[in-house]
Amino acid sequence: MAIERTLSIIKPDAVAKNVIGEIISRFEKAGLQVVASKMLHLSKEQAEGFYAEHKERPFFGDLVGFMTSGPVVVQVLEGEGAIAKNRELMGATNPQEAAAGTIRADFAQSIDANAVHGSDSAASAEREVAYFFSSDEICPR
Ligand code: IDP
C-alpha cells in the first residue's frame, strides 16, 4: 500500500476533554506518524473555508459555530494507507453508529461534537493539508 498523508483535526470537544494525547497515541499505535502539528483557534472564515463543500447543508452554521468554539489541533498524519486507516480509527460520523473501540465511540458526544476530523479521499487530503500547512511546516522522517 502507498505511503499517504492525511489531515487530522482534534476538534474543540476533544481538546476540552484533555484527550489530545490519547487520540495521538491511537494514531501512533496504528503506525501513523505525526509529520506536522499545530494548535489553532479557528476564525469563522477559516472554518467556513475548510468546510466549504458543506455550505448548503442545514447543519453548516452549527458546524462552523462548533469548530470555532475552542482550540483545535490540526495535524498531518503519514503512513501506509493513511487516509483510510485514519477514517477507520475515527469511526462513523455519528458516534452512536461508530464501531466499538474507535475514537468517536470512545470520546465523542454527538454528531456535532464528534472529536475528530479526517480527510475522506486523496483529493480532500491534498486540499486540506495545503489549507493548514505550507510545505516547510511538514517534517517527514
Ligand atoms: P466526517 O467528519 O465523518 O467526514 P462529514 O459528512 O464530512 O463527516 O461532515 C462534516 C462534519 O459535519 C461531521 O464531522 C459532523 O461534525 C458534521 N455533520 C455531518 N452531518 C451532520 C448532521 O446531519 N447534523 C449535524 N452535524 C453534522
Whole-complex ipTM: 0.95
Write down the pLDDT at residue 77.
Answer: 98
Per-residue pLDDT, averaged over 18-39, amounts to 98
Residue ranges of the binding site for ATP: 11, 59, 87, 93, 104, 114
- Say whether pLDDT at 6 is over 90: yes
Catalytic residue among 5, 26, 85, 117: 117
- CA dist 12 and 95 (Å) reads 16
Burial 70-103 (b: 16+ CB within 10 A, else e): eebbbbbbbbebbbebbbebbbbeebeebeeebb
- Say whether pLDDT at 1 is over 90: no
Q: Is 117 a catalytic residue?
A: yes
Write down the pLDDT at residue 141.
Answer: 82
Write down the pLDDT at residue 62.
Answer: 98
Neighbouring residues of 21: CB distance < 8 A, sequence distance ≥ 6: none
The Å distance, Cα 81 to ligand 1 centre, comes to: 22
* Residue minimizing CA distance to atom 14 of ligand 1: 93
Q: Which domains does the chain have, with CATH numbers?
A: 3-134 (3.30.70.141)
Write down the pLDDT at residue 110.
Answer: 97
| CA–CA–CA angle 34, 44, 120 (5° rounding) | 40
User: Cell numbers of 85, please?
Assistant: 486507516
- Say whether pLDDT at 93 is over 90: yes
- For residue range 61-92, list pLDDT tens digits in order: 999 999 999 999 999 999 999 999 999 999 99
Confirm or reject: Cβ of 111 under 6 Å from ligand 1: yes
